[in-house]
RNA sequence: GCGCCCGUAGCUCAGCCGGAUAGAGCACUUGAUUCCUAAUCAAGGGGUCGCAGGUUCGAGUCCUGCCGGGUGCGCCA
């Protein structure tokens, strides 16, 4: 049960009955009525703003509405007390019995607690990573990869039918550059002396084995041919090699996709022409000349008539070109076709996870989605800000131009997949992220990965200990659900139960807002409440989790611990992180 | 010049479609270990929520204008 949804339903019903009884006018709009955990614990277990939001439309004083509502809520058995506070908040305090029943419910559900059917099978497409197939992934890419993957996990957990997608930019000039770079390495592999890699080609060493593999497959046949002959062949070979590299990188991170969509295929199948024709038939394309861009050196600028998409009709700042001067499509044009393709495949909800450098494209892409779907599809773009890589507080130099950048593989090798994944989710996507290679391995309070993992390990440890000292009890969650929990009456214990019971609400909020980082914060708070209780047991023997002299209390406490373990494990699973059983 | 993101404690950041006395960690000061892992916990100080207006019963949150930082700006992707 989502406690807050439950209370919200109860309150909605009570208000409607108040309307029916004439205490309030009929036909009130209750959409703004909310029940949420109050910031201050003294305000109770749940607070409702109904009286404040309804006062105006009901033309009553907030406190008067609150008093009416409080009077009715008082009658309910699960509610211990109701207070009208401040300007008209209705603060609810639930009985201990209610909370114990929720803990039992959590245990009876076991893994999957908090899962819901919010999405009701609604299809949603999450596109992430989508880096150009020109080299290995670096740490910056890891952020988008993890955010997209965790978001997809979360949405799937909450009842959405999620498709995880990677858009392969295998058309355009950059893959030609890739092909030329590989050809240089190929000549090298064939025994030619190539010297320094020419300016404008990719210099990275990762292309050396690709050149060698090409030589091994095709021998010397591309040495004497003109570029126009070898380029398409080498390009295909190189793209395959790069995608293999990228997939391996993603594997190392535990990130997977259901669909890889090829830009080249999209163009070849005429899908861009289709999208163009569709926009044209809606009279959203015209021949026009754009203003020169300001604030940057524009030596080469000359006014030119182009095919322009009326993006300004949909909130963009300027209309956008669809064709380059050589007649080929712009990146934006193929991207429109790609998003149109997603919509035609039956997705009304699209999420794109992009890097910070694409921030300027959000408006035009949203405009395009609105245009091609007649406003029936939504696009949410999650921009992931930069990752600042540090080593014990000192910035780690990264230079893509010199072909020297910290690869994802290096970082995963250094600190492990789980650490990378968790850290990438500890910030809002639009806030920059510091990633300190040294600090994320520290075993201390300020390392969130450790702190949460340690709580899980401690819970496991106590359960192991319980199995030793009270061998006659079964300690599976299902068995513990039947325990007598009434001794869990210490404020710290009840506080922990309440936090566990917020899990469904946290998941729902994170899923609807597309904000997986909220889970990381909740896990940290939960771990904190658990660590606190653990230490309390040192001062106060009555609160110790495992005590062979008192098997009934031990059973109840192990039930609580089992709940903690389940929720932390659930959260980590959504993040794709393996919970640890013990710290070493 | 324009767009987008950000501006909250000394530092790094939360703050959930506006809600009550603005929170956490780090750092600093002090304390807790014969006992389930002290790899932890507790207590304390620390704020004009960038600035100024506005909307509202109520603004860190919404609107407008400034200031500061980041990022991007026809045919590159």
DSSP secondary structure string, A318-333?
A: S-EE-B-TTSPBPHHH
Q: How far: A495 CA to B19 C1' (Å)?
A: 23
pLDDT at A404 over 80: no
The nucleotide minimizing the C1' distance to residue A427's CA is: B13
User: Strands across the sheet with A378-384, in order?
Assistant: A259-262, A161-168, A123-127, A349-355, A378-384
Question: Under a CB-based contact definition with an 8 Å cutoff, are residues A80 and A93 in contact?
Answer: yes
Q: How far: A428 CA to B68 C1' (Å)?
A: 22
- Count of C-beta atoms within a 10 Å radius of residue A159: 16
Decide which of A175 and A295 is more confident: A175
Question: Under a CB-based contact definition with an 8 Å cutoff, are residues A501 and A99 in contact?
Answer: yes
A515 touches strand B (CB under 7 A): yes
The band of A86, judged by pLDDT with boundaries at 50, 70 and 90, is confident
The band of A296, judged by pLDDT with boundaries at 50, 70 and 90, is low
Q: How far: A530 CA to B42 C1' (Å)?
A: 14
Chain A residues 386-425, Cβ below 7 A from strand B: 386
CA distances from A278 to A262, A275, A340, A393 (A): 21, 5, 10, 53
Residue A543 corresponds to which tokens in the numbers above?
């609160």
The band of A542, judged by pLDDT with boundaries at 50, 70 and 90, is confident
A354 touches strand B (CB under 7 A): no
CA nearest to nucleotide B14 C1': residue: A521
pLDDT at A557 over 70: yes
Whole-number percent of chain A with pLDDT over 90? 71
- Chain B bases near protein Cβ (<7 Å): 1-6, 12-17, 19-27, 32-33, 35-42, 57-58, 70-77
Question: Under a CB-based contact definition with an 8 Å cutoff, are residues A336 and A345 in contact?
Answer: no
> Model's pTM, two decimal places?
0.95
Residue A368 corresponds to which tokens in the numbers above?
């395009």
Collapsing DSSP states into helix, strand and coil, what is residue A127? strand
A172 touches strand B (CB under 7 A): yes
Average pLDDT score over residue span A550-555: 90
Torsion-angle region of A327 (φ positive above 0: left; ψ -120 to 50: alpha; else: beta):
left
The nucleotide minimizing the C1' distance to residue A175's CA is: B77
What pLDDT does residue A402 have? Answer: 45
Q: Cα–Cα distance between A150 and A171 in angstroms, integer?
A: 29
CA nearest to nucleotide B19 C1': residue: A49
CA nearest to nucleotide B37 C1': residue: A458
pLDDT in tens, A149-174: 999 999 999 999 999 999 999 998 89
ipTM of the complex: 0.94
E strand residue ranges, A53-139:
79-85, 89-94, 123-127
A545 touches strand B (CB under 7 A): yes
Q: Cα–Cα distance between A517 and A150 in angstroms, integer?
A: 9
Could you give phi then psi for residue A279, rounded to 5 degrees? -65, -40
Question: Under a CB-based contact definition with an 8 Å cutoff, are residues A27 and A18 in contact?
Answer: no
Q: Cα–Cα distance between A361 and A353 in angstroms, integer?
A: 12
Chain A residues 311-340, Cβ below 7 A from strand B: 317, 321, 324-326, 328, 330-332
Torsion-angle region of A130 (φ positive above 0: left; ψ -120 to 50: alpha; else: beta):
left
Q: How far: A37 CA to B30 C1' (Å)?
A: 33
The H or E element containing residue A353 is: strand A349-355
The nucleotide minimizing the C1' distance to residue A502's CA is: B16
pLDDT at A295 over 60: no
Q: How far: A40 CA to B21 C1' (Å)?
A: 9
The H or E element containing residue A350 is: strand A349-355
Collapsing DSSP states into helix, strand and coil, what is residue A30? coil
What pLDDT does residue A360 have? Answer: 86
A327: Cβ contacts below 8 Å, ≥ 6 apart: none
Average model confidence (pLDDT) across chain A: 91
Instruction: Please report the DSSP string for A387-431 in residue order.
Output: EEEEETTEEPP-BTTTTB--BHHHHHHHH-HHHHHHHHTSS-TTS
A67: Cβ contacts below 8 Å, ≥ 6 apart: A84
What pLDDT does residue A401 have? Answer: 44
What pLDDT does residue A29 have? Answer: 86
**Measured CA angle at A519 (ends A513, A523), to 5 deg:** 160
- From A188, A192, A181, A180, select the one nearest A227 (Cα to Cα): A180
Q: Cα–Cα distance between A212 and A559 in angstroms, integer?
A: 59
- From A543, A569, A540, A538, select the one nearest A556 (Cα to Cα): A543
Q: Cα–chain-centroid distance for residue A57?
A: 38
A542 touches strand B (CB under 7 A): no
């Amino acid at each position: 049960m989502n406690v807050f949804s439950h209370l919200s339903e109860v309150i909605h019903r009570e208000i409607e009955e108040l309307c029916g009884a004439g205490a309030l006018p009929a036909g009130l709009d209750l959409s703004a009525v909310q029940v949420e955990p109050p910031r201050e614990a003294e305000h109770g277990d749940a607070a409702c703003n109904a009286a404040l939001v309804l006062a105006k439309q009901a033309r009553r004083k907030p406190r008067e509405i609150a008093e009416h509502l409080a009077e009715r809520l008082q009658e309910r058995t699960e509610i211990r007390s109701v207070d009208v506070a401040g300007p008209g908040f209705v603060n609810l305090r639930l009985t201990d019995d209610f909370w114990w029943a929720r803990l039992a419910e959590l245990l009876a559900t076991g893994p999957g607690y908090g899962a819901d059917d919010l999405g009701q099978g609604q299809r949603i497409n999450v596109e992430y990573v989508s880096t150009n197939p020109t080299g290995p992934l670096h740490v910056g890419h890891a952020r988008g990869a993890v955010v997209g993957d965790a978001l997809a996990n979360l949405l799937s957990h909450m009842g959405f039918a999620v498709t995880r997608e990677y858009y392969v930019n295998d058309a355009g000039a950059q893959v030609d550059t890739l092909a030329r770079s590989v050809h240089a390495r190929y000549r090298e592999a064939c025994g030619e002396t190539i010297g320094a890699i020419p300016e404008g080609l990719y210099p990275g060493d990762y292309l050396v084995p690709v050149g060698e593999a090409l030589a091994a497959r095709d021998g010397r046949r591309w040495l004497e041919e003109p570029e126009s002959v070898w380029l398409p062949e080498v390009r295909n070979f190189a793209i395959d090699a790069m995608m293999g590299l990228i997939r391996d990188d993603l594997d190392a991170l535990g990130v997977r996709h259901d669909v890889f969509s090829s830009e080249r295929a999209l163009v070849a199948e005429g899908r861009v022409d289709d999208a163009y024709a569709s926009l044209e038939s809606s009279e959203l394309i015209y021949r026009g000349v754009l203003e020169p861009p300001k604030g940057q050196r524009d030596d080469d600028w000359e006014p030119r008539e182009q095919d322009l998409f009326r993006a300004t009709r949909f909130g963009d700042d300027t209309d956008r070109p669809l064709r380059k001067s050589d007649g080929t499509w712009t990146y934006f044009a193929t991207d429109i076709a790609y998003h149109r393709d997603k919509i035609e495949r039956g997705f009304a909800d699209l999420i794109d996870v992009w890097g910070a450098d694409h921030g300027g494209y959000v408006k035009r892409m949203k405009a395009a989605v609105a245009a091609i779907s007649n406003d029936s599809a939504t696009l949410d773009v999650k921009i992931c800000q930069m990752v600042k890589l540090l080593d014990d507080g000192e910035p780690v130099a990264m230079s893509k131009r010199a072909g020297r950048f910290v690869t994802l593989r290096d970082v995963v090798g250094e600190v492990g997949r789980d650490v990378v994944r968790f850290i990438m989710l500890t910030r809002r996507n639009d806030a920059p992220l510091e990633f300190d290679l040294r600090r994320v391995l520290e075993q201390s309070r300020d390392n969130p990965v450790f702190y949460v993992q340690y709580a899980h390990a401690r819970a496991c440890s106590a359960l192991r200990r319980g199995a030793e000292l009270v061998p006659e009890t079964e300690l599976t969650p299902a068995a513990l659900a039947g325990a007598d929990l009434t001794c869990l009456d210490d404020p710290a214990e009840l506080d922990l139960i309440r936090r566990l019971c917020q899990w469904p609400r946290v998941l729902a909020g994170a899923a609807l807002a597309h904000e997986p980082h909220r889970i990381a914060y909740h896990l940290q708070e939960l771990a904190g409440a658990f660590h606190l209780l653990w230490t309390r047991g040192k001062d106060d023997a009555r609160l110790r989790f495992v005590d062979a002299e008192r098997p009934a209390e031990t059973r109840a406490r192990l039930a609580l611990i089992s709940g903690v373990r389940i929720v932390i494990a659930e959260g980590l699973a959504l993040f794709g992180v393996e919970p640890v059983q013990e710290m070493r």
